[in-house]
């Protein structure tokens, strides 16, 4: 049996109602993840109509981590299914290509779609691009959804820009959300560590 035939077999299992079966299929497809399989999955995500298949392909491409998948995952950020948009955002964070930053920031700048925005906030931190700083700081000031805030704080810590410390310190002093306070303290420490390392290296 060829690799593509193997892949087609496991793609059919992505439609299973059983979560374990879908998870095993994703893991197996990721292990098959050489060039031919990645191309097959990219084409499949472009053409597939079944929601679970699209979710599974996004998860698989994220696990494989091949940057050739970035464009099709960016397109999937606009899929009609929230769960597909959510998995595409996760996958882009795993692949960590800066090309994904503008569309992820576009999602963050809009209201609504809290699950997807939460993962977009996480993804921009994993990618670590300073261009996300302004929007992440704006989220801390104006966002109501606590999970989007949590991920934004953690992402600010990962990005490591000293400009974030003022707003993070304000949260530590004024917030009554213990989890948010703890994440803000960790983010401040991470930023300080990053900048101390930069000073030492210079």
The answer to whether the 1-95 and 102-202 domains have the same CATH topology is yes
One digit per residue, the tens of pLDDT, for the chain of length 202 reads: 457 777 888 888 888 888 888 888 889 888 887 888 899 999 999 988 889 999 999 999 999 999 999 999 999 999 999 999 999 999 999 999 999 999 999 999 988 899 999 999 999 999 999 999 999 999 999 999 999 999 999 999 999 999 999 999 999 999 999 999 999 999 999 999 999 866 555 4
* Cα 102 from Cα 94, distance rounded (Å): 16
pLDDT digits (tens, 9 = 90+) for 136-154: 999 999 999 999 999 999 9
Q: Under CATH, which architecture does the 1-95 domain have?
A: Alpha Horseshoe (1.25)
- The token pair at 113 is 């779609």
% helix, strand, coil for the chain, step of 5: 80, 0, 20
- 146-159 and 114-127 helices, crossing angle to 10°: 10
- Domain chopping of the chain, boundaries: 1-95, 102-202
Question: Residue 84's closest CA among 55, 114, 63, 112?
Answer: 55
Query: How far does CA 61 lie from the centroid of its chain?
Result: 12
Structure tokens at 140: 């801390």
160 DSSP assignment = T
Q: What CATH architecture is 102-202?
A: Alpha Horseshoe (1.25)
Entry field: residues in the chain: 202
- pLDDT, position 1: 42
Largest Cα–Cα separation, the chain? 62
Contacts 24+ apart (CB under 8 A), 173-176: none
Query: At which residue do the structure tokens 């992820």 appear?
Result: 104
For residue 130, how many other CB atoms are within 10 A of its CB?
11
4-43 per-residue burial string, b: 16 or more CB within 10 A, e: under 16: eeebeebbebbeeeeeeebeebbebbbebbeeebbebbbe
Is the Cβ–Cβ distance between 34 and 68 less than 8 Å? no
Pick from 34, 17, 20: which is nearest to 7 by CA?
Answer: 34
Contact 57, 45 (CB under 8 A): yes
pLDDT value, residue 198: 61
Q: Could you tell me which of 118, 82, 45 has the C-alpha nearest to residue 104?
A: 118
Q: What pLDDT is recorded for position 56?
A: 94
């Amino acid at each position: 049996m060829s690799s593509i035939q193997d892949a087609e077999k496991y793609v059919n299992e992505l439609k299973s109602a059983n979560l374990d079966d879908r998870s095993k299929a994703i893991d197996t497809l990721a292990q098959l993840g050489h060039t031919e399989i990645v191309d097959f999955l990219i084409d499949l995500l472009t053409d597939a109509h079944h929601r679970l298949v699209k979710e599974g392909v996004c998860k698989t491409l994220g696990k494989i981590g091949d940057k050739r998948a970035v464009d099709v995952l960016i397109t999937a950020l606009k899929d009609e299914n929230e769960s597909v948009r959510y998995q595409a955002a996760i996958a882009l964070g795993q692949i960590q290509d800066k090309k994904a930053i503008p569309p992820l920031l576009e999602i963050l700048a809009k209201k609504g779609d809290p699950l997807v925005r939460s993962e977009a906030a996480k993804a921009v931190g994993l990618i670590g691009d300073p261009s996300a700083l302004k929007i992440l700081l704006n989220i801390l000031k104006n966002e109501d959804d606590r999970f989007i805030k949590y991920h934004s704080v953690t992402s600010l810590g990962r990005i490591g820009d000293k400009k974030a410390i003022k707003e993070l310190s304000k949260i530590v002093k004024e917030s009554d959300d213990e989890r948010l306070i703890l994440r803000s303290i960790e983010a401040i420490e991470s930023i300080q560590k990053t900048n101390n390392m930069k000073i030492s290296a210079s």
